[in-house]
Amino acid sequence: KYNQNTSLAELYNLVESAGYQVVGELSQSRSTPDPSLFIGAGKVEELKQLAKNFKVCTVIFDHDLSPIQQKNLEEKLELTVIDRTELILKIFSQRAHTKEGKLQVELARLNYLLPRLIGKGKQMSRLGGGIGTRGPGEKQLEVDRRTIKNRIADLNKEIEAIKKHRTIQRNRRKKILVPVISLVGYTNAGKSTLLNTLTGSEVYVKNQLFATLDPVSRKTKLPSGQEVIFTDTVGFIQNLPTQLIAAFRATLEEIKEADLLVHVVDVSNENYLEQVESVYKVLKQIGVEKSLFITALNKADLVPHYLIERAKRQLPNSVPISAKKQVGLDELLLKIEDCLSARSSKIEVMIPYNKIDLLHLFYNYGIIEHLEYKNDGVFILGTLRNKEIGYLNKSLSNL
């Protein structure tokens, strides 16, 4: 039995996002799931009657089912049974548009299907001959299993190639020294809307779960004139399927490599703290530290002031904003600038005239306190980001 305002309510939204129509719901309180049916045998009969009354063809569980539980339920109910992971995979399949996204979702779906194919194959093998023989069902299972495994191997190779291509792209960005700010958050928190507002882009936005899957990067300027790249990534959700985390690891690496993360939180959702923990959990799995966060308390215009103040205490380094109404964005951008500049240091350097192009580092990413033209070069006293100081020292040491 679930809290109506959390898991079951989210399941309702997931079901609608997948294109199904919800006609009824049923819950059960148990200390442990039934190993063969997940719910009790009596509850299965109750569910069967409910499904018959509403003339439904699909039953969706707000939980992951084992292959044997799913098979047994389908036999008892005589209906299609979908668990939470399969439902999310269906949505991802509908929303992936780029080649990369489609490959990642296909990999996740095949990894999900493989053990279920094996479970069904045991039943199929009984269609064949007697003891010691191999029936046509078992032979077909072996063919299907081999085909899926081969396809999984091919997909892994293609995704690995994509990962290498992304690494090359990141290295190019590092050479031009433009900071990358990754927008992360729970699905439907408003990341794409914020990206559009900050960069003037037109990324697809809709009030639904997983409206966009494919990562998008856009360049813009901070109030100081410094250029930055904002990257929008796939939204997270409670109990995000492990297959998806594994398949989207190449995409999620973009988050890990970012200079700064802006965690977009839908503060108007009464369960936003649970959503925050779900995001933290996934980021921890890919090795991202929370210390890199700025938290954007989005949709703050829909929440009373005292609740916003409470949220700011609960989530340090946070800024109330409304991406849709463009409220609080100046403060957010200033905080981003402060966080980037906090990684800066004082520096005195002599830049030879044959390396005069290195001056752009100070103009774009630092502050010049004193500049003096001398016989052997330009002397600069100022502040520069530590990242750029490393690049500057490396460039000068190659002289």
Tell whether pTM > 0.85.
Answer: no
Give the separation between CA 245 and CA 111, rounded to whole angstroms: 12
pLDDT at 250: 63
For the record, the structure tokens of 278 come out as 């779900």
More confident residue, 324 or 130: 324
Predicted pLDDT of residue 123: 39
Q: Which three-class secondary structure state does DSSP give residue 87?
A: helix
Helix (H) or strand (E) holding 68: helix 67-77
Residue of 95, 96, 52 whose CA lies nearest to 76: 52
Secondary structure tally for the chain: helices H, strands E: 14, 11
Say what the pLDDT of residue 135 is.
44
Residues 305, 311, 315, 321, Cα dihedral to 10°: -50
The average confidence (pLDDT) of the chain is 83
Q: Which pLDDT score is estimated for 125?
A: 38
Residue 127 CB contacts under 8 Å (≥ 6 apart), including other chains: 135, 136, 137
| DSSP states along 252-291 | HHHHHT-SEEEEEEETTSTTHHHHHHHHHHHHHHTT--GG
The DSSP-derived string for 108-152 is HHHHHHHHHHHHHHHHHHTTS-STT---HHHHHHHHHHHHHHHHH
Q: Can you give the pLDDT at residue 5? A: 47
Nearest-angstrom CA–CA distance, 359 and 383: 12
Order of strands across the sheet with 293-298?
A: 216-221, 227-232, 180-185, 260-266, 293-298, 318-320
User: Please, which pLDDT band fits residue 128 given cuts at 50, 70 and 90?
Assistant: very low
Name the nearest CA neighbour of 95 among 18, 31, 2: 18
Contact between 222 and 333 (Cβ < 8 Å): yes
Whether residue 340 is predicted with pLDDT greater than 60 in this model: the reply is yes
CB-CB contact of 208 with 92 (8 Å): no
Sort residue 383 into left (φ over 0), alpha (ψ -120 to 50) or beta.
beta
When comparing pLDDT for 173 and 146, which is higher?
Answer: 146
pLDDT of residue 233: 78
Which two three-digit tokens encode residue 340?
Answer: 């980037």
